[in-house]
Amino acid sequence: MKQLHKILLALFVWGVAAIGNSFAQSSADTTDTIVTFRFLPGKDILILRDNEAELARLYALVDEHRTQITAGEMPVYVDGYCASLPTTKENLMTAFLRANRVKSELITRKGLKESNFITANYARAYHTNKDMVVVTLHIPVITTRQSETEIPAVGYVPDCVEPASPAVNEPEQVTERESETEQVRGQTPEEKQVAGQTSEPETLVTAKTFLTKSCGFALRTNLLYDAFLLPTLGVEWQVNRNWGIKLDSSLSWWGSSSDKVQKVWLLNPEVRWYLLRNKRLYVGASGSYGEYNIYRYPLGRLFSKDTGYQGTLWSAGVTVGYQLCLSRKFSVDFNLGMGYTRSKYDSFGMTDGVRVSKERDKTKSFFGPTQAGISLIWTLGNSK
């Protein structure tokens, strides 16, 4: 019996040691990679000027581990922290909105889905920062067995070299993740309810969520030209965050040669340079070319009620404009162009349904407005 007890005791000790070793090994199989985003006190807008480097690093990490993330093997932990507002409820809601701002960047820019995230929000500071969103990826560590003749692995320090001191923030980051479970236990029911919301951000998407223009193609129509019965359809290719190429085409074919008439076609290409942090303000170089035959239709009335014009025109100039975001897919473009316009035309009048020529082969050139627009834009896709 004593021999059996010794055997059982030995097996128990061996089992405990094996479990401990397995736990230690599994803990060492992953390492936390942390990306932090700072916010202004009391604000929930992600200011790119202060977070561009961290956002670029997060994009690179998502690209590198996209397969594991989209397969559900490596969730993206997004934790919001706020302690700059007077009440717990306000802090939790602001932390919630800030976390969604960061998630929206990854959803719109990198094509991730809500199911790829695990979100938590806290009405407290992250270390000493009261306004922060922390993104954490548990990245597996690849370990290989090396012989004495192989190149030493990263972290090997020769005896003659003094080991480098550990980073100051690393212990705090690990401690922060380990202490989150205890923090959740100490939350009020109200805090837990807000902290556990992960699917709601899709219903809270607003125009101010989209701080940067998305790359890709968009369809557009100039509502101002449409109002003058000159239907316009265009396309814009957002090459990158700074540059875009736009082409608008306009066509109207109203009336007859013996009555009121408005037959116009016009092409308007433009290259745009988007400015500032949100890439909504822009300046551009534009041109246009077209032919026209107008008399007493809306465009003709802008010149003369009793005179018609038929000819060609071209223009070149600069534009300035701003795109107001309405939603993830729709925005409104306000723009005005100034430059040089030259037109060659014949003018005519109408007597008893018969055209009577007034002037032939006339030309007119002027510096002034070359275009104006209030355009509705429908974005077809985003860059990933």
- Select the more confidently predicted residue: 285 or 189: 285
Does the residue 374 lie in any domain?
Answer: yes
Tokens of 262: 């408005």
Least confident of 60-69, 211-220, 311-320: 211-220
**Residue 297 or residue 342, greater confidence:** 342
- The answer as to whether 7 is a domain residue is no
Taking the model in full, what pTM does it have? 0.46
∠ Cα 114 115 121 (to 5°): 65
State how far the Cα of 161 lies from the Cα of 166, in Å rounded to an integer: 15
The mean-pLDDT minimum among 113-122, 171-180, 206-215, 332-341 falls in 171-180
Q: Edge-to-edge, what's the strand order for the sheet holding 131-140?
A: 30-38, 131-140, 76-82, 117-122
CATH number at residue 186: 3.30.1330.60
* Choice among 68-72, 172-176, 267-271, 277-281 with the minimum mean pLDDT: 172-176
Nearest 10 degrees: CA dihedral of 369, 375, 380, 381?
70
pLDDT greater at residue 352 or residue 206 = 352
Residue 383's pLDDT is 42
User: What pLDDT, on a 0 to 100 scale, did the predictor assign at position 138?
Assistant: 85
What's the domain count of the chain? 2
More confident residue, 296 or 64: 64
Q: Are residues 88 and 161 in the same domain?
A: yes
Residues 373 and 341 in one domain: yes
Domain end, chosen from 202, 228, 243, is at 202
Per-residue DSSP letters for 199-254? SGGGGG--GGG--SPPPEEEEEEEHHHHHTT--EEEEEEE-SSSEEEEEEEEEEEE
pLDDT: which is higher, 121 or 27 = 121
Domain span at residue 252 reads 216-379
- Write down which residue in 180, 202, 224 finishes a domain: 202
Mean pLDDT to the nearest integer, 365-373? 93
Check whether residue 161 and residue 243 sit in a common domain. Answer: no
Output the domain CATH number for residue 357: 2.40.160.20
My answer on whether 242 and 328 are in the same domain is yes
